Amino acid sequence: MTITLDHVSRAVDGIPTIRDVSLTLERGALSVLLGPTLAGKTSIMRLLAGLDKPTQGRVLVDGKDVTGIDVRKRSVAMVYQQFINYPSLTVYENIASPLRVQGKPKAEIESRVREAAKLLKLEPYLDRTPLRLSGGQQQRTAIARALVKGADLVLLDEPLANLDYKLREELRTELPRIFEESGAIFVYATTEPSEALLLGGRTVCLWEGEVLQIGETSKVYRRPETLKVAEVFSDPPLNVVAIEKKNGTVQYAGGGQAPASGLYADLSDGAYRVGFRAHQLELANGIAGRHAFPATVTVTEITGSESFVHLKRDASNWVAVLQGVHEFAPGDVLDAVLDPDNLFIFDADGRLVAAPEAMRN
């Protein structure tokens, strides 16, 4: 089974929410919709489900036009950010509810509920009502109900956003296994690059209703085709600096120049923008072959295993992530160091022209 959005656009009160989106989803594959709030993730899910009609374009299932066909006539299940369960029913009855609506035999209901409960580790809680469950158990119940429905398409709209850190991490590690074992088409929306990387599959990178790039998640992360994709797929935010290459030298905006070594060496003379993620920025002194700039610490956030060091350099705000505990005070001046072999270079139009060797495949 395949589901295709064919040059789909949608506007609400004249305001575009989706702009000429084309993508195809296949059975057994997980597609991650990645983008910030208002990027169009939920709008795409509603079009896939049949809850909304596109202003332009078509929705196809196995090549058949289903545009405008009501959601009740489609094989689809949805799980939302706010988990929804029937508070007066037990976990068992919550999971069984779509099967009872479908009129399935008692033996089949029993078998499918037990199977879904085992898959989602809910077997000890089948006799409890939702109010006696943790947030993670309630969300697993909602996911189990979606899975047991046997839908061809399962849509998960930021389903872990309202859970605490420990529960999110637990479910994030479980979901890829659940997706693989179910065999349905899964679409998962998230604002978090780390979540997309953990889930794997294929990522659809979105910005203001437009698809920027589609591909295997790790490859989109390693080789963003544009500066905007790199910005969407970076958390903490991507560090960016303008440069000009001329006569074998790189001149950095805000001051500083260095020989055009590493990835700079093969660039034609001209203006570029350089992007580097927080882990690509080093804070050190005197590293041979690296490009160093004095930068002022504004904030240091210590998580325990990592330290996020926020820096001000001229008009630019940068952030570096360091392993372990590093206690820098606001106002400290550090050397921010770039490795010319470990950064992304974009042309004046924001298109990728060079990437680290380890990220090219």
Q: Please tell me whether residues 53 and 144 are part of one structural domain.
A: yes
As a whole number of angstroms, the distance between CA 109 and CA 345 comes to 56
Q: Please tell me whether residues 272 and 161 are part of one structural domain.
A: no
Which residues touch 256 (CB under 8 Å, ≥6 apart)? Answer: 291, 293
Pairing, β 210-216 against β 64-65 = unpaired
What is the count of structural domains for the chain? 2
Beta carbons of 345 and 354 less than 8 angstroms apart: yes
Q: Please tell me whether residues 84 and 121 are part of one structural domain.
A: yes
pLDDT for residue 288: 66
pLDDT for residue 359: 56
pLDDT for residue 244: 97
What does the block give as tokens for 20?
Answer: 């000429």
Residue with token string 């939702």: 130
What does the block give as tokens for 351?
Answer: 């298109």
Q: Please tell me whether residues 200 and 246 are part of one structural domain.
A: no
C-alpha radius of gyration, the chain, whole number:
24
Picking from 52, 72, 66, 41, the residue whose alpha carbon sits closest to that of residue 151 is 72
Q: Please tell me whether residues 310 and 207 are part of one structural domain.
A: no
φ/ψ (deg, to 5) at 183: 80, 5
Give Cα 354 distance to the centre of its chain: 23
Strand stretches in 62-181, DSSP E: 64-65, 76-79, 153-157
Beta carbons of 32 and 188 less than 8 angstroms apart: yes
List per-block mean pLDDT (blocks of 10 residues) for the chain, which spans 361 residues. 94 94 89 96 94 95 90 86 87 95 94 89 94 87 88 88 76 78 87 92 96 97 97 96 96 92 95 96 78 94 93 93 93 93 96 82 50
As a whole number of angstroms, the distance between CA 314 and CA 144 comes to 52
CATH number where 259 lies? 2.40.50.140
As a whole number of angstroms, the distance between CA 32 and CA 48 comes to 14
CATH number where 42 lies? 3.40.50.300
Q: Please tell me whether residues 194 and 330 are part of one structural domain.
A: no
Picking from 57, 5, 51, 9, the residue whose alpha carbon sits closest to that of residue 31 is 5
Q: Please tell me whether residues 121 and 157 are part of one structural domain.
A: yes
pLDDT for residue 286: 61
As a whole number of angstroms, the distance between CA 223 and CA 230 comes to 8
pLDDT for residue 221: 97
Q: Please tell me whether residues 141 and 8 are part of one structural domain.
A: yes
Beta carbons of 153 and 185 less than 8 angstroms apart: yes
Return the SS3 of 117.
helix
Q: Which of the listed residues 228, 253, 271 is the one where a domain comes to its end?
A: 228
Q: Please tell me whether residues 184 and 89 are part of one structural domain.
A: yes
* Domain that residue 278 falls in: 237-359
Q: Please tell me whether residues 18 and 123 are part of one structural domain.
A: yes
Q: Which of the listed residues 204, 228, 252 is the one where a domain comes to its end?
A: 228
As a whole number of angstroms, the distance between CA 274 and CA 291 comes to 13
Picking from 8, 12, 14, 99, the residue whose alpha carbon sits closest to that of residue 45 is 8
